[in-house]
């Protein structure tokens, strides 16, 4: 494997250039154009003299019972090729004994109330596992900047809060969601979708785009719900988990008369694949 890949932290650190600004892009692997966009944003952030590190690690702590940990795609060679082509300098692909040398950690980062709703309600313990590995990887990679996609809005909010509350010396940089030509948000799980399931899954982005055309919270909710209700009658059907219109800071549901910026978030299952998406809306209060 290329010399750009490190399996252990000491090998990664040996390739760091003293004084170089450093950005990290954390991934579960199965890299796609969305990850490439994060890597390009990292390169732009640190400049040509900085270093961009991409982590590839399928973290068992953030997968719940019955989720897709075992079948999650592991494509390290292809991931390295994509990462380097997008502008990464190094790929850190640690083994379990590097990330969790004593086995599953007894002390973990707790997501708190912000992690109990939305994705946290659907996937108990997911955010505790996610924050724990992000904290570990921040320590192991020692970046100045950490790039995270806006597609996982709740994840991004929690990471920002952890970094602030626990005084991590890193700047969290959000990167806009990358979509395919038909509007579907890029995700490693899209590859699980059969063609007919993908057709149904397009309702997630279509619902968000329909909501964007409305200036009131009431109108946005109704427009999105109409699209999702139709998709529930499709073959195969879309099984909605939640549709939420949230304030962008605390991620709490906004009232019908709310004005200002909001995030509409949606999660649904098509077949055996669970997908999430979100979009920022500007609500002016008019119908």
The DSSP-derived string for 142-154 is: --SEEEEETTSHH
pLDDT for the residue 249: 86
Q: Which of 250, 242, 253 is nearest to 277 (CA)?
A: 242
Average pLDDT of 88-115?
96
Q: What is the dihedral of CA 36, 39, 41, 44, to 10 degrees?
A: -130
Average pLDDT of 6-23?
97
Query: What is the pairing mode between strands 145-149 and 90-92?
Result: unpaired
Greater pLDDT, 249 or 98: 98
- Mean of the per-residue pLDDT values of the chain: 95
Q: Is residue 24 a contact partner of residue 147, using CB atoms and an 8 Å limit?
A: yes
pLDDT band at 2 (very low <50, low <70, confident <90, very high): confident
- Paired with 278 in beta bridges are 265
Task: Write the burial class of residue 107 (CB in 10 Å: 0-12 exposed, 13-18 middle, 19+ buried).
Answer: exposed
pLDDT for the residue 287: 53
pLDDT for the residue 52: 98
pLDDT for the residue 32: 93
Task: Write the burial class of residue 92 (CB in 10 Å: 0-12 exposed, 13-18 middle, 19+ buried).
Answer: buried
Q: Is residue 41 a contact partner of residue 159, using CB atoms and an 8 Å limit?
A: no
Average pLDDT of 85-94?
98
Cα within 13 Å of Cα(138), Cβ side: 22
Q: Is residue 174 a contact partner of residue 150, using CB atoms and an 8 Å limit?
A: yes
pLDDT at 9 over 80: yes
Q: Which residues contact 75 (CB under 8 A, 6 or more apart)?
A: 29, 30, 31
pLDDT band at 286 (very low <50, low <70, confident <90, very high): low
Q: ∠ CA 204-225-233 to the nearest 5 degrees?
A: 75
Cα within 13 Å of Cα(140), Cβ side: 29
pLDDT for the residue 106: 95
pLDDT at 146 over 60: yes
Average pLDDT of 158-181?
97
CA 93 from centroid of its chain's CA atoms: 18
Average pLDDT of 25-35?
95
How much of the chain exceeds pLDDT 70, in percent? 99
Whole-number Cα distances in Å, 72 to 29, 34, 69, 133, 187: 9, 17, 5, 17, 12
pLDDT at 285 over 70: no
Average pLDDT of 149-162?
96
pLDDT for the residue 71: 83
Three-state secondary-structure class, residue 129: helix
Cα 184 to Cα 138: distance, rounded to the nearest angstrom: 30
Residues with active-site annotation: 35
Query: What is the pairing mode between strands 145-149 and 171-175?
Result: parallel
Digit-coded pLDDT (tens) for 261-283: 999 999 999 999 999 999 999 99
Q: Is residue 122 a contact partner of residue 267, using CB atoms and an 8 Å limit?
A: yes
Digit-coded pLDDT (tens) for 36-82: 999 999 999 999 999 999 999 999 999 987 777 888 889 999 999 99
Average pLDDT of 182-193?
92
In degrees and rounded to multiples of 5, residue 196 shows phi and psi of: -70, -35
pLDDT band at 104 (very low <50, low <70, confident <90, very high): very high
């Amino acid at each position: 494997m290329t010399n750009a890949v490190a399996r252990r932290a000491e090998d990664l650190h040996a390739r760091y250039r003293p004084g170089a600004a450093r950005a990290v892009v954390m991934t579960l692997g199965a890299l796609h154009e969305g990850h490439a966009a994060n890597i390009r944003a990292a390169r732009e952030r640190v400049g040509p003299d900085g270093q961009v590190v991409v982590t590839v690690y399928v973290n068992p702590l953030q997968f719940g019972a019955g989720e897709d940990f075992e079948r999650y795609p592991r494509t390290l060679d292809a991931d390295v090729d994509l990462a380097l082509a997008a502008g990464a300098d190094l790929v850190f692909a640690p083994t379990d004994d590097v990330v969790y040398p004593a086995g599953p950690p007894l002390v973990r980062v707790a997501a708190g109330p912000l992690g109990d709703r939305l994705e946290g309600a659907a996937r108990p313990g997911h955010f505790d596992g996610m924050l724990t590995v992000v904290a570990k990887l921040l320590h192991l990679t020692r970046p100045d900047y950490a790039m995270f996609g806006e597609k996982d809005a709740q994840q991004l909010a929690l990471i920002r809060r952890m970094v602030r509350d626990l005084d991590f010396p890193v700047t969290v940089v959000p990167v806009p969601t990358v979509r395919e030509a038909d509007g579907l948000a890029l995700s490693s799980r899209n590859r699980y979708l059969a063609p007919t399931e993908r057709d149904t899954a397009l309702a997630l982005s279509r619902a968000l785009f329909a909501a964007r055309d409305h200036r009131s919270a009431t109108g946005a909710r109704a427009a999105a719900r109409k699209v999702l209700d139709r998709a529930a009658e499709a073959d195969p059907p879309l099984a909605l988990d939640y549709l939420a219109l949230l304030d962008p800071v605390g991620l709490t549901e906004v009232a019908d008369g709310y004005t200002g910026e909001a995030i509409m978030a949606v999660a649904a299952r098509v077949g055996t694949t669970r997908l999430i998406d979100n979009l920022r809306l500007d609500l002016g209060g008019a119908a």
